[in-house]
Amino acid sequence: MTTKQVLPEQIVLILQGGGALGAYQAGVYEAIHHAALEPDWVIGTSIGAINAAIIAGNPPDQRLPHLTEFWRRMDEGGAMRAPWMQHLPEEAKLQFNSASLMGFGLPNFFSARPFSAFGLGMSVKPDQASIYDTAPLRKTLEELVDFEYLHNSPVRLSVGAVDVESGEMRYFDNHTETLTVAHIMASGALPPAFPAVTIDGRFYWDGGIHSNTPLERMLQEHPRVHSLCFLANVWQERDVPPTTMAAVSRRSKELQFASRTNMLVAMELELHKLRHALTVLEPYLPQAALKKAEVLAAIEEGCLSVFHLIRLQAPRLAKEDQYKDIDFAHERVQQRWGAGYRSTAHAIAAQAWQAEISALDGVIVHDYSDEDLSAEERARILAHQPKTRDGAVCSYRPRRPAPRQA
């Protein structure tokens, strides 16, 4: 079969929602920044929208400092910094930190409402019906995102939120409208913790409750452009069967928010092969057929765009539980950030998107999702994955490419 080399025309960064797990995404961006591969388009949901707004809403030299400052602020006032906490076992510290955060909030993110509407059964306005008040986040974003710069930013920003009344997903985009702090907060308004945000008379919640992996936004773009896409997943898709109730809670949350990534990629692999096939077949059609409206309409669906998808995965940390998405402790943030940097740096060093591909390939997945797993953990997880008749693990993922030789 004919092969070809197709180099990307744009760099896209896709960021999931996941609260404290979003520190991994900051590490991904740092590696991209250090490799001088600044993104042309950043698409985010929830914490991914916040990270994305900081990236797109600042000049290149301010992006990393502002990301660093945001994640530093997330640990201010956290219980883990209390001196007496240092004498507790690690698991006890994490549990107490989660309880403290749920009871009192985070000073630069959210604060507990004195009388929650949910606790008293009161009827309030939709933008007040929540356990916490997110006014501190508004202030943080206004200080770390230059919304005037964002309006004319060379980096395209798309953030996803779901319309509370219609249930439809909407992506707000700085290339088609003026984005404000409200658009970013809407994307992170996870109920019932956070209140709905009003935009143009409509109420919006966190886009993650509809689709937590905003990959679909890039795949639905038209016209399609050859792209290098970094997909930073923060929720683990694979694991061994849980044996405790705490592990059950953690695992069910992971599966809920991993949110259709496998299905989206597998579906797009097939769709793009069909689009390429239509384009490849066009020169072989007789002229009489090319005069028919239905044939022309079918050809219009074809394209030769190529998406190189760098698949990244945040690792589990020791003692993680179902509250890991509110684990903003400094040490844990640093571990996740470092893991994001390492995985992305390895992917960039491999330069897999420069290899030749089949003429029919439109979406090529380069999988780095097990980059931070130990050999023991990787073997343990693979041992529980479904197998085909010949004993191979069921998966659409290709083998990870070997690094290019210098």
For tokens 């130990």, name the residue.
374
Which runs of consecutive H residues, i.e. helices, occur in 74-204?
90-104, 117-120, 135-144, 147-151, 181-187
Rounded to whole angstroms, the Cα distance separating 330 from 70 reads 12
Rounded to whole angstroms, the Cα distance separating 330 from 78 reads 9
Dihedral of alpha carbons 369, 240, 266, 259, sign: negative
Classify 156 as helix, strand or coil. strand
Neighbours of 368 (CB within 10 A): 21
pLDDT at 377: 55
pLDDT at 79: 52
pLDDT at 99: 78
Question: Greatest CA separation found in the chain?
Answer: 83
pLDDT at 119: 56
Rounded to whole angstroms, the Cα distance separating 14 from 25 reads 9
pTM, full prediction: 0.85
pLDDT mean by block of 10 residues, the chain; 406 residues: 80 96 97 96 97 98 97 77 61 72 87 68 81 96 98 97 96 97 97 95 94 85 89 88 89 81 77 80 88 86 87 91 90 94 95 86 85 58 49 39 40
For residue 60, cis peptide bond before it (omega within 30 degrees of 0): no
For tokens 């956290």, name the residue.
78
Of 64, 41, 108, 98, nearest in space to 307 by CA:
41
Rounded to whole angstroms, the Cα distance separating 262 from 240 reads 18
Rounded to whole angstroms, the Cα distance separating 48 from 23 reads 10
